[in-house]
Protein backbone atom coordinates (compact mmCIF):
# COMPACT_ATOMS: atom_id res chain seq x y z
CA UNK A 1 0.00 0.00 0.00
CA UNK A 2 1.35 3.43 -0.97
CA UNK A 3 1.61 6.39 1.38
CA UNK A 4 1.34 8.81 -1.56
CA UNK A 5 -1.76 11.00 -1.58
CA UNK A 6 -4.34 10.05 -4.21
CA UNK A 7 -3.90 11.93 -7.46
CA UNK A 8 -6.63 14.37 -8.35
CA UNK A 9 -7.98 14.99 -11.79
CA UNK A 10 -8.69 18.56 -12.93
CA UNK A 11 -10.87 19.72 -15.83
CA UNK A 12 -9.06 19.97 -19.16
CA UNK A 13 -7.35 23.27 -19.87
CA UNK A 14 -9.48 23.72 -23.02
CA UNK A 15 -12.70 23.38 -20.99
CA UNK A 16 -11.67 26.22 -18.65
CA UNK A 17 -9.52 28.68 -20.64
CA UNK A 18 -10.65 30.48 -23.80
CA UNK A 19 -7.13 30.16 -25.32
CA UNK A 20 -6.52 27.77 -28.22
CA UNK A 21 -3.55 26.57 -30.27
CA UNK A 22 -1.14 28.02 -31.13
CA UNK A 23 -1.45 30.26 -28.06
CA UNK A 24 -2.53 27.75 -25.43
CA UNK A 25 0.61 27.48 -23.31
CA UNK A 26 -0.29 24.97 -20.61
CA UNK A 27 -0.98 21.29 -21.25
CA UNK A 28 -2.60 20.30 -17.97
CA UNK A 29 -3.10 21.27 -14.35
CA UNK A 30 -1.44 18.88 -11.90
CA UNK A 31 -2.21 20.51 -8.54
CA UNK A 32 -4.54 23.19 -7.22
CA UNK A 33 -5.29 24.27 -3.69
CA UNK A 34 -6.97 27.11 -1.88
CA UNK A 35 -4.29 29.67 -2.88
CA UNK A 36 -2.03 27.93 -5.41
CA UNK A 37 -2.01 26.16 -8.75
CA UNK A 38 0.56 24.11 -10.67
CA UNK A 39 0.41 23.39 -14.41
CA UNK A 40 2.84 21.82 -16.87
CA UNK A 41 3.81 22.27 -20.50
CA UNK A 42 6.18 20.34 -22.75
CA UNK A 43 7.59 22.55 -25.48
CA UNK A 44 7.72 20.43 -28.63
CA UNK A 45 10.53 20.82 -31.19
CA UNK A 46 7.97 21.66 -33.91
CA UNK A 47 6.61 24.78 -32.12
CA UNK A 48 6.36 27.61 -34.67
CA UNK A 49 8.38 30.17 -32.68
CA UNK A 50 11.51 27.97 -32.60
CA UNK A 51 12.00 28.58 -36.36
CA UNK A 52 12.75 32.26 -35.75
CA UNK A 53 13.86 32.56 -32.12
CA UNK A 54 17.58 31.80 -32.32
CA UNK A 55 17.19 29.15 -35.07
CA UNK A 56 20.75 27.83 -34.57
CA UNK A 57 20.05 27.27 -30.85
CA UNK A 58 16.27 27.52 -30.37
CA UNK A 59 14.91 28.67 -27.02
CA UNK A 60 11.42 29.45 -25.73
CA UNK A 61 10.87 33.24 -25.67
CA UNK A 62 10.67 34.56 -22.11
CA UNK A 63 7.43 36.38 -22.87
CA UNK A 64 5.79 33.00 -23.58
CA UNK A 65 6.93 31.70 -20.20
CA UNK A 66 5.27 34.70 -18.54
CA UNK A 67 2.13 34.08 -20.60
CA UNK A 68 2.16 30.47 -19.39
CA UNK A 69 2.16 31.78 -15.81
CA UNK A 70 -0.71 34.15 -16.68
CA UNK A 71 -2.76 31.33 -18.20
CA UNK A 72 -2.12 29.21 -15.10
CA UNK A 73 -3.38 32.05 -12.88
CA UNK A 74 -6.41 32.54 -15.16
CA UNK A 75 -7.25 28.83 -14.91
CA UNK A 76 -7.30 29.17 -11.11
CA UNK A 77 -9.59 32.23 -11.25
CA UNK A 78 -11.98 30.73 -13.80
CA UNK A 79 -12.13 27.30 -12.17
CA UNK A 80 -12.76 28.85 -8.75
CA UNK A 81 -15.38 31.23 -10.16
CA UNK A 82 -13.40 34.27 -9.08
CA UNK A 83 -13.96 35.62 -12.59
CA UNK A 84 -15.71 34.92 -15.89
CA UNK A 85 -12.68 36.13 -17.84
CA UNK A 86 -9.21 37.31 -16.91
CA UNK A 87 -6.98 39.76 -18.79
CA UNK A 88 -3.28 40.09 -17.99
CA UNK A 89 -2.75 43.73 -17.01
CA UNK A 90 0.52 43.77 -15.10
CA UNK A 91 3.90 42.07 -14.95
CA UNK A 92 6.38 43.06 -12.25
CA UNK A 93 9.78 41.80 -11.18
CA UNK A 94 10.08 39.35 -14.09
CA UNK A 95 13.44 37.57 -13.99
CA UNK A 96 14.80 34.96 -16.35
CA UNK A 97 17.49 32.70 -14.94
CA UNK A 98 17.82 29.89 -17.47
CA UNK A 99 16.67 28.95 -20.97
CA UNK A 100 14.06 26.43 -22.10
CA UNK A 101 14.96 24.35 -25.13
CA UNK A 102 12.81 22.15 -27.39
CA UNK A 103 11.56 19.01 -25.64
CA UNK A 104 11.74 20.53 -22.16
CA UNK A 105 8.83 20.08 -19.74
CA UNK A 106 8.29 23.11 -17.52
CA UNK A 107 6.18 23.57 -14.42
CA UNK A 108 4.23 26.79 -13.89
CA UNK A 109 3.55 27.45 -10.19
CA UNK A 110 1.42 30.39 -9.07
CA UNK A 111 0.73 31.48 -5.50
CA UNK A 112 -2.48 33.49 -5.55
CA UNK A 113 -2.40 36.85 -3.78
CA UNK A 114 -5.14 39.43 -3.39
CA UNK A 115 -8.51 39.27 -5.12
CA UNK A 116 -10.50 42.50 -4.95
CA UNK A 117 -12.36 44.95 -7.15
CA UNK A 118 -11.90 42.71 -10.17
CA UNK A 119 -8.13 42.50 -9.70
CA UNK A 120 -6.20 39.32 -8.99
CA UNK A 121 -2.49 39.06 -8.19
CA UNK A 122 -0.16 36.11 -8.14
CA UNK A 123 3.51 35.31 -7.81
CA UNK A 124 4.64 32.78 -10.36
CA UNK A 125 7.66 30.54 -10.81
CA UNK A 126 8.72 28.53 -13.84
CA UNK A 127 10.84 25.43 -13.23
CA UNK A 128 12.27 22.58 -15.27
CA UNK A 129 12.76 19.80 -12.74
CA UNK A 130 14.71 21.44 -9.92
CA UNK A 131 16.14 24.12 -12.22
CA UNK A 132 14.70 27.59 -11.67
CA UNK A 133 13.84 29.16 -15.03
CA UNK A 134 11.90 32.37 -14.33
CA UNK A 135 9.64 34.17 -11.90
CA UNK A 136 7.29 37.15 -12.03
CA UNK A 137 4.51 38.88 -10.15
CA UNK A 138 1.35 39.10 -12.24
CA UNK A 139 -1.86 41.13 -12.11
CA UNK A 140 -5.06 40.11 -13.84
CA UNK A 141 -8.29 42.00 -14.36
CA UNK A 142 -11.67 40.28 -14.54
CA UNK A 143 -13.83 43.27 -15.46
CA UNK A 144 -15.13 44.47 -18.79
CA UNK A 145 -12.72 44.50 -21.74
CA UNK A 146 -11.65 47.96 -22.80
CA UNK A 147 -12.18 49.58 -19.41
CA UNK A 148 -9.33 51.92 -18.53
CA UNK A 149 -7.55 50.90 -15.36
CA UNK A 150 -6.18 53.60 -13.08
Confidence of residue 149 (pLDDT cuts 50, 70, 90): low
User: How far is Cα 1 from Cα 86, in angstroms, rounded to an integer?
Assistant: 42
Q: Is 53 a catalytic residue?
A: yes
What is the number of alpha carbons within 13 Å of residue 148 lying toward its C-beta?
Answer: 1
CATH number of domain containing 62: 3.10.129.10
Give 88's strand partners: 140
Task: Look up the pTM and report it.
Answer: 0.91
pLDDT per residue as tens digits for the range 38-49 = 999 999 999 999
Q: Which of 36, 48, 53, 123 is catalytic?
A: 53
Is there a contact between 16 and 78 (Cβ–Cβ < 8 Å)?
yes
Residues 96-119 have a mean pLDDT of 95
Total structural domains in the chain?
1
59 backbone dihedrals φ, ψ, rounded to 5°: -135, 155
Q: What residue numbers bound the domain in which 83 lies? A: 25-141
Say if 40 falls within a structural domain: yes
Say if 113 falls within a structural domain: yes
Say if 30 falls within a structural domain: yes
Nearest to 72 by CA among 40, 117, 120: 40
Say if 18 falls within a structural domain: no
Amino acid sequence: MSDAPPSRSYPSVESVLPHREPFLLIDRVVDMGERHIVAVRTFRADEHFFRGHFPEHPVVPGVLLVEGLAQTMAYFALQNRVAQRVFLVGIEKARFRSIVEPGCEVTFEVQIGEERFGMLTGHGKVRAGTRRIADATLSGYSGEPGKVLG
